[in-house]
Amino acid sequence: MEGTILRTENLQISFGDNKVVKGINMEIAEKKVTAFMGPSGCGKTTILRAINRLHELTPEAKVEGKIFMHNEDVYEMEAMTLRRRVGMVFQRPNPFPTMSIAENVISGFILNGIKLKTQEKNEIIEDALKKVALWDEVKDYLKKKGTSLSGGQQQRLCLARAVAMKPEVILLDEPTSALDPLSTAKIEDLLYELKGNYTLVIVTHNMQQAARISDMTAFFYLGDLLEYDDTKKVFTNPKNEKTQNYITGRFG
């Protein structure tokens, strides 16, 4: 695929004896939104977490096969380097509770021991909060705790935290499932704007969301990648009967 940023080769992921992901080969295009769809337990989030090497924190998890970023094996990179280049936003907003709004934005730098001059710090905070359309809402309250914000604002703060590190890729694991419709719409608008500068990979159960914001859609079923194509094609003319059944609500 032209402009590929991420590529998996025979990616298999097991937890103990349970093989959750079964030999996935796929390429993810740069500066596009790729949606991962499929019923619960089909391996979507498991793949997302493998890209960011989060399974290393789970003793029984075993990742086999390869994941490349620009032809570099992510499992041979320094984990800190990888996580600077690949940000992650989780299902539930999770600002660091002891940190202020400002500290949350630059927490990646703080936690990695990266020293910033005051002016640099202020510029990063303002820039990241502007990118996620939160600056005007919080600029007078930057010292307040990140957890004092509403759910939708907290999720945008988590997005700002990811954006502040200037990553190439942002992984999003059902980032709007805990939010109300208005906050969901705001996050969707943001993701649409952000794709000009970042590669976004989003796991979603919300098919309308996938149809609205993604360029490419991957449909997973029981650990296999059944269909992967241009989003319009997947929704209007799916090649696989299981994709068709999932989209039309016959199972899920």
Other CB atoms within 10 A of residue 16 CB = 9
Match 């990648």 to its residue by tokens: 225
Sheet of strand 199-203: strand arrangement: 86-89, 169-173, 199-203, 33-37, 216-221, 224-230
Q: What band does 139 get if pLDDT is binned at 50, 70 and 90? A: very high
Match 């914001």 to its residue by tokens: 213
Average pLDDT rounded to a whole number, residues 199-210: 94
69 falls within a domain: yes
CATH code of the domain containing 11: 3.40.50.300
217-232 per-position pLDDT tens digit: 999 999 999 999 999 9
Q: Which one, of 113, 117, 120, 98, lies nearest residue 164 by Cα?
A: 120
21 falls within a domain: yes
Q: What is the pLDDT of residue 219?
A: 97
5 has pLDDT over 80? yes
Q: What is the C-alpha to C-alpha distance for residues 188 and 186, in angstroms, rounded to an integer?
A: 5
Q: What is the pLDDT of residue 86?
A: 96
51-92 per-position pLDDT tens digit: 999 999 899 999 999 999 999 999 999 988 999 999 999 999
Range of the domain at 116: 4-247
Q: What is the pLDDT of residue 57?
A: 85
Q: What is the pLDDT of residue 63?
A: 96
Cα three-residue angle 109-112-116, rounded to 5 degrees: 35
197 falls within a domain: yes
Quote the number of domains for the chain.
1
133 falls within a domain: yes
101-137 per-position pLDDT tens digit: 999 999 999 988 889 999 999 999 999 999 999 999 9
Q: What is the C-alpha to C-alpha distance for residues 20 and 147, in angstroms, rounded to an integer?
A: 34
Q: What is the CA radius of gyration of the chain?
A: 18
252 falls within a domain: no
Q: What is the pLDDT of residue 111?
A: 87
The length of the chain in residues reads 252
Percent of the chain predicted with pLDDT > 70: 98
Q: What band does 252 get if pLDDT is binned at 50, 70 and 90? A: low
Q: What is the pLDDT of residue 196?
A: 87
53 falls within a domain: yes
What is the bridge-based pairing of β-strands 216-221 and 169-173? unpaired
DSSP string, the chain: -TTEEEEEEEEEEEETTEEEEEEEEEEEETTSEEEEE-STTSSHHHHHHHHTTGGGGSTTEEEEEEEEETTEEGGGS-HHHHHHHEEEE-SS----TTSBHHHHHTHHHHHTT----HHHHHHHHHHHHHHTT-HHHHTT-TTSBGGGS-HHHHHHHHHHHHHHT--SEEEEESTTTTS-HHHHHHHHHHHHHHTTTSEEEEE-S-HHHHHHH-SEEEEEETTEEEEEEEHHHHHHS-SSHHHHHHHTTS--
CB within 8 A of 207, min separation 6: which ones?
Answer: 37, 235, 247
32 has pLDDT over 90? yes
251 has pLDDT over 80? no
85 falls within a domain: yes
Q: What is the pLDDT of residue 112?
A: 83
